[in-house]
Structure 1
Amino acid sequence: MTTTTELIPVSGGGHLWAERAGDGPPLVLLHGSVHDSRLWNRVFAPLAQHHTVIRYDARGHGRSTLATAPFRYEDDLLAVLDHFAFPAAELVGLSMGGEVALDFTLEHPERVRALTLIAASAGGHEWPRSPDMEAYGAAQHGSDARRIAELELTLWASLGDRAPGFDVIEPMVRQNADIRAAAAKGHALDPDEDAVGRLDRIAVPTTVIVGDHDHPEISVIARRLADGIPDARTEVVGNADHYLPLRAPGRLLELLLGG
């Protein structure tokens, strides 16, 4: 498989690191918080047999630069589509990446052909208070990289180090935890990004996917997305936590390729 890597200019003088492979209908992969494009290691090449696939590191993650001014992840995604001259693309996003893909679809419906939301968060959904999530928020607020990584691996990689993919998950999380807090502080929150109140406006084919071992609130959000988005398809994947593309890549490929 031939791949190319590119640096995509974005606002504030920075760039996004991106990788492209394959030929066919365009598909863009968006990772979650404390992740980078390695999240897609086990599905990237197989998808490229059917699509022109783009994976990129979000602002401040992986090999992309930190923000020097306020920015929006949705604007960065638009820059990616424009850079590769894609009039429209299928979007596949996990966690934060799913939230970005959802907000982008509401903002730029003409640029999206289909939407896959994996273990997605969603703007406007209020999480219940819990000691674990409060500790996670405090670690991010305090830029405590060691604690961020520790809690990430405990709360979100619940299947542990004996399940598939941990060899990628652990170093990815620990490396991105060092810069996650700085990336989050550069993100300009939009008070109008209340996606859960506008789900009925999504008019593209949508699949909502969740792992059976993910955080319980992710399943709550998945049901809310599936109930609110017209004709959305829902799939629960077995033996998968929040890191579903690395835990159950075979089943995810079946779902993304029409299985």
Structure 2
Amino acid sequence: MRFIFVIIILLIASCQDTGYDENDTYLYKNQHKIQVRTTGEGFPIIFAHGGYLDLEMWDPQVEAFKNSNQIIRFSDLGHGKTIRSDTSTLGYEIINELTIRYPHEKYVLVGLSWGAMLCVDFALNYPEKVKKLILVSPGLNGWPYFKDSLASKNYKLRQNAIANSDTLKAAKLFHQNWVIGPRRTEGELDKDFYSESLDLIVRNMSRHWQEDWSDLDTIVARTRLEHIKVPTYIIVGKHDAEDILLIAEEYHSRIENSKKIEVDNVAHLLTMENPKRFNEILKEILND
């Protein structure tokens, strides 16, 4: 009898939701099936990934913050395990649907590159829901790409690879510009980081070849950056493309309540290249 009682107690304990188990769920909007993962408890952070990446790029941040925050992350249209329909959808409205599903008064938004652009659109349209805006290696809707000659050359070569349906070449070119950095070589990167990041890009490009992403706001963000009033933090790696460094400075100069942070020895995908340093910065921002 005592043995049966112990077994029952163990079964009950195993069924309890600790808040830290993370599995794929899906958000349905405009016939899209959008991949979502959540874990943890506490003040909510919504993470938005970069282009040709997916929600898995945030794994190091999940491990670092799941014991103190609710982590909400998703794969945009054309990424991860998300299945898109033929309907156009605004990216910031996907983020808003997440705030409806996981209701809180306010959220911290963390976006990298493309994801930063979606977070900016959200902050402009739903400022009352944003506590802090964290833009990592951010792009900018309305920016005249490319001022960086090496990035421009890389982009043209990548477009040719796409036109020739050469997925692997396109992925490697994207990886060179947006992971290694326009002015660094493969040998300067940690081998595990090099392989992991390239595999992530190849997987997303292959799975969603020439598939459309979500839409940016039709009101171009660059025309109204002064409207952003929430505390904003812009984080860039010093080895990133010239355009991203210039964009970071524009955000910083035009958003009144902003701070720019430059990180040594990293390029665009700094959250994965040096997760320890990025997590330290993120913790400081959350505690600020």
| TM-score of the superposed pair, with normalisation by structure 1 | 0.91
Corresponding residue to 1:57 among 67, 70, 75: 75
Task: Name the CA shift for 1:213/1:24 in 2 (closer, same or farther; >3 Å).
Answer: same
- Structure 1 gaps of 5+ residues are none
Residues of 2 paired with 1:50 and 1:114: CA distance?
16
Show the counterpart of 2:122.
104
CA distance in 2, matches of 1:142, 1:69: 27
CA shift in 2, pair 1:226/1:142, >3 Å: farther
| Offset, 1:131 | 2.2
Q: Residues 141 and 216 of structure 2 are in contact (CA less than 8 Å); yes or no, is this contact kept in structure 1?
A: no
Pair 1:150–1:201, CA change in 2 (3 A): same
User: Matches of 1:54 and 1:8 in 2, distance apart?
Assistant: 12
Residue number in structure 2 paired with 1:224: 250
What letter matches 2:117 in structure 1?
Answer: E
Corresponding residue of 2:218: 191
* CA-CA distance at 1:139 after TM superposition: 4.3
Q: How many residues align?
A: 257
Does the C-alpha gap of structure 1 residues 233 and 189 become closer, same or farther in structure 2, counting only changes over 3 Å? closer
In 2, Cα distance between equivalents of 1:3 and 1:72? 29
Tell me if structure 1 keeps the 8 A contact 2:90–2:215.
yes
Q: Distance in 1 between matches of 2:83 and 2:247?
A: 30
In structure 2, the CA distance between the partners of 1:6 and 1:83, relative to structure 1 (3 Å rule), is farther
The answer as to whether partners of 1:8 and 1:79 remain within 8 angstroms in 2 is no
Tell me the equivalent position of 2:195. 167
TM-score between both structures, scaled by the size of structure 2: 0.82
Higher RCO (CA-CA < 8 Å; seq separation 6+): 1
User: Is the 2:27–2:35 contact (alpha carbons within 8 Å) kept by the matching residues of 1?
Assistant: no
Please tell me whether the aligned partners of residues 81 and 87 of structure 1 are also in contact (alpha carbons under 8 angstroms).
no
> Counterpart amino acid of 1:131?
K
**Structure 1 stretch displaced more, 46-55 or 30-39:** 46-55
Structure 1 residue aligned with 2:204: 176
Q: Any idea what SS the aligned residue of 2:38 has? A: strand
CA displacement, residues 39-70 of structure 1 (integer Å, 9 cap, x when unaligned): 11222111112211112211221111123311
1:209 correspondence with 2:235: yes
Q: As a proportion of its length, which structure holds more helix? A: 2
Larger Rg: 2
Structure-2 separation of matches of 1:112 and 1:144: 41
Measured after TM superposition, the shift of residue 205 of structure 1 is 0.8
| Partner of residue 177 from structure 2, selected from 155, 162, 176 | 155
1: CA distance between counterparts of 2:197 and 2:249? 26
Residue deviations 1:91-142 (CA, integer Å, cap 9, x gap): 0000000000001100111121110000010111111363222333454566
- Call closer, same or farther: CA 1:142–1:125 in 2, change over 3 Å: farther
Partner of 1:90: helix, strand, or coil? strand
CA distance in structure 2 between the partners assigned to 1:85 and 1:139 by the alignment = 43
Structure 2 unmatched runs, 5+: 1-17
In 2: Cα distance, 1:116 partner to 1:101 partner: 8
Give 3-state SS (helix, strand or coil) of 2:83's partner: coil
> Contact between 2:61 and 2:275, CA under 8 Å: does it hold in 1?
yes
Which letter maps to 1:226?
A: H
- Residues 31 and 84, structure 2, Cα contact 8 Å, conserved in 1: no
Cα displacement (A) at 1:225:
0.7
Asked whether the equivalents of residues 33 and 180 of structure 1 are also in contact (C-alpha less than 8 Å), the reply is no
**2:3 aligned residue:** none
Aligned with 1:9 (options 4, 27, 39): 27
User: What is the percentage of aligned positions where both structures have the same residue?
Assistant: 24
CA distance in 2, matches of 1:255, 1:67: 37
1:68 correspondence with 2:68: no
**Pick aligned residue for 2:156 from 134, 157, 172:** 134
Of 91-100 and 8-17, the range deviating more from structure 2? 8-17
Could you tell me whether the CA contact under 8 Å between 2:239 and 2:266 is conserved in 1?
yes
| Contact 1:31/1:97 (<8 A) preserved | yes
After superposition, the Cα gap between the structure-2 partners of 1:235 and 1:188, relative to the gap in structure 1 and judged at 3 Å, is closer
Alignment partners' CA distance in 1, 2:160 and 2:29: 29
Cα distance per residue 1:129-165 (max 9 Å; x no partner): 6322233345456654223202111111215364262
